[in-house]
Amino acid sequence: MNVLVDPRTLLEFNFGDYHPFKTYRLGLTYDLIDLYGLVSREGITVIEPRAATEEEALAFHNEGYLEVLRLADSGMWVPNLFSHGLGSGDNPVFPGVYEWGMLVAGASIDCANAVAAGDASIAFNMAGGLHHAMPACASGFCHINDVALAIHALLAHGKRVVYLDIDAHHGDGVQHAFYKTDRVLTISVHQDGHTIFPGTGFIGEMGQDAGRGYAMNIPLHPGARDDVYERVFSELVFPAVDRYKPDIVVTQLGADAIIGDLVASLGMSLALFERFVTRVRDLEIPWLALGGGGYAVENVVRAWTLAWARMNDVELPDEIPAQWQTEAARYGLALGSLRGSQADEPSTHRVLDTANHTIDTIKQDVLPLINP
């Protein structure tokens, strides 16, 4: 059985008209998935988000921060808001922000528990993947780190976890959570921190103490295309998973590495995103799949719809159901076809040379440190 979180109750939350994080992308994606018949299908169970408890959130966040977030949300003026990363343009205190964070987290934890208990082979919370939040700090549009909380739930089941993060941004909050343990191998493929938020995720960040060798960072230069990603996946990411032999795979499937994003500058194609998802599926390891970033809404809708189809071994037609087009038009969105037409261009020589050097270095210095 596969589990899908219905994100529609989350659409009431709004980061603001000028904020790039659009919660309506979740509704558009879910509705397209539904119209393709991938909600009400045998073998699929749909669950509603429920709020994480404070006790659950304390597995990663500190009590003072949760209190500040809750008070700020209730409309109270909290003088130390800014020291917790709150109230900035990135991390606004919008109405219901505490509930938003806790609902997303509760959904990811429920998915984790379903996978760990063997009730689900794959569970997908497209609203999750909020990988930047820190124990006492909101960061990068993320107030509560649902990923870290879900992985803590998996660890409580005694599981060994690989975390694969293909979002354009470094998965810094999740790396921080598990930097000193070998029970979680975190792998992040992202745009180089010299060129984009959060400014971390360099090769030398490879874990500490018992966790040394269990954080792998693969920074890519802006403009990296499928040729680079193919090498990264074939020579680093999947070999690392093979070496580690996890009980559970957790993916953060941010769609902002796909070409045309409004925030990031990487050049992954949609076809490659789909191939990555298929490769994870083919591992046949219980899988917790989470969403993440994605600021070109059409990329998000396409990527996560195709991902859920692949998770269920369904090959979708390219034609978009007419009913969805009508709904999307309200957001000024139109899709000619599900996959669109992206030219498969090679990376420039400079980008390719740098990537080759990065890949060879990680292969030599980081990959051998991973033991089953």
Phi-psi region of 223 (alpha: psi -120 to 50; beta: other; left: phi over 0): left
The reply to whether 172 sits near Zn ion by the rule CB under 5 A is: no
Identify the three-state secondary structure at position 166: coil
The reply to whether 293 sits near Zn ion by the rule CB under 5 A is: yes
Binding mask of the shown chain, residues 60 to 99, with x at each position contacting Zn ion by CB under 5 A: ----------------------------------------
Judged by CB under 5 A, which of 31, 73, 256, 298 binds Zn ion? 256
Q: Exactly one of 132, 143, 169, 221 is catalytic; which is it?
A: 132
**Residue 84: active-site member:** no
Stretch of 69-77, 178-186, 191-199, 246-254 contacting Zn ion, by CB under 5 A: 246-254
Distances (CA, A) of 208 to 40, 148, 172, 174, 186: 45, 18, 14, 14, 12
Q: Specify the residue, 59 or 147, whose C-beta has the smaller distance to Zn ion.
A: 147
C-alpha 319: how far from chain center: 27
Q: Find the shortest distance in angstroms from Cβ 262 to Zn ion.
A: 11
Contacts 24+ apart (CB under 8 A), 356-361: 356/231, 358/203, 358/218, 358/219, 358/220, 359/218, 359/231, 359/232, 359/235, 359/236, 361/203
Angle at 168 between CA 162 and CA 174, to 5 degrees: 40
Judged by CB under 5 A, which of 31, 56, 167, 182 binds Zn ion? 167
Q: Find the shortest distance in angstroms from Cβ 171 to Zn ion.
A: 9
Q: Which residue is nearest to Zn ion (CB)?
A: 293
Q: Find the shortest distance in angstroms from Cβ 330 to Zn ion.
A: 26
The reply to whether 56 sits near Zn ion by the rule CB under 5 A is: no
Stretch of 3-11, 49-57, 193-201, 248-256 contacting Zn ion, by CB under 5 A: 248-256
Stretch of 20-28, 111-119, 251-259, 359-367 contacting Zn ion, by CB under 5 A: 251-259
Q: Specify the residue, 142 or 241, whose C-beta has the smaller distance to Zn ion.
A: 142
Yes or no: say if 161 and 185 are a contact pair by the CB < 8 Å rule. yes
Q: Specify the residue, 6 or 256, whose C-beta has the smaller distance to Zn ion.
A: 256
* Residue type for position 293: G
Q: Find the shortest distance in angstroms from Cβ 257 to Zn ion.
A: 8
Identify the three-state secondary structure at position 185: strand
Q: Find the shortest distance in angstroms from Cβ 55 to Zn ion.
A: 29
Any bridge partners for residue 4, and if so which? 46, 124
Q: Is the peptide bond before 368 cis (omega within 30 degrees of 0)?
A: no
Stretch of 76-84, 167-175, 205-213, 352-360 contacting Zn ion, by CB under 5 A: 167-175
> By rule CB under 5 A, what count of residues binds Zn ion?
6
The reply to whether 254 sits near Zn ion by the rule CB under 5 A is: yes
Q: Specify the residue, 138 or 316, whose C-beta has the smaller distance to Zn ion.
A: 138
Residues with Cβ within 8 Å of residue 35, at least 6 apart in sequence: 321, 323, 324
Q: Specify the residue, 167 or 298, whose C-beta has the smaller distance to Zn ion.
A: 167
Any bridge partners for residue 351, and if so which? none
Give which of 74, 79, 158 is closest to 116, Cα–Cα: 158
Give which of 36, 27, 83 is closest to 338, Cα–Cα: 36
The reply to whether 261 sits near Zn ion by the rule CB under 5 A is: no
Q: Specify the residue, 72 or 130, whose C-beta has the smaller distance to Zn ion.
A: 130
**Annotated active-site positions, please?**
132
Interface ranges with Zn ion (CB under 5 A): 167-169, 254, 256, 293
